[in-house]
């Protein structure tokens, strides 16, 4: 992947992370099932770390 593609992927992952975090906050507020959202956040954190690592390797 090019640097620009990695940056775009990182922006997309960050956007997803913020959206899911907001959903999680709402679920916690209404005492809904938050485990699925938490798992998604963990997965996204790993993906973000991988993309950042690839970006660092390009520089």
Q: Report how far residue 25's alpha carbon sits from residue 10's, in angstroms, rounded to the nearest whole number.
A: 22
Asked whether residue 33 carries a pLDDT value surpassing 90, the answer given is no
- How many distinct helices (H) and strands (E) make up the chain? 2, 0
Instruction: Give percent of the chain with pLDDT exceeding 70.
Output: 100
Structure tokens at 17: 């992370």
Structure tokens at 32: 């809904």
Q: Report how far residue 59's alpha carbon sits from residue 36's, in angstroms, rounded to the nearest whole number.
A: 35
Q: What is the pLDDT of residue 1?
A: 83
């Amino acid at each position: 992947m090019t640097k620009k593609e990695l940056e775009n992927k990182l922006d997309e992952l960050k956007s997803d992370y913020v959206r899911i975090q907001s959903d999680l906050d709402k679920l916690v507020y209404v005492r809904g099932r938050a485990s699925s959202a938490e798992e998604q956040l963990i997965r996204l954190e790993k993906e973000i770390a991988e993309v950042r690592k690839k970006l660092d390797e390009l520089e």
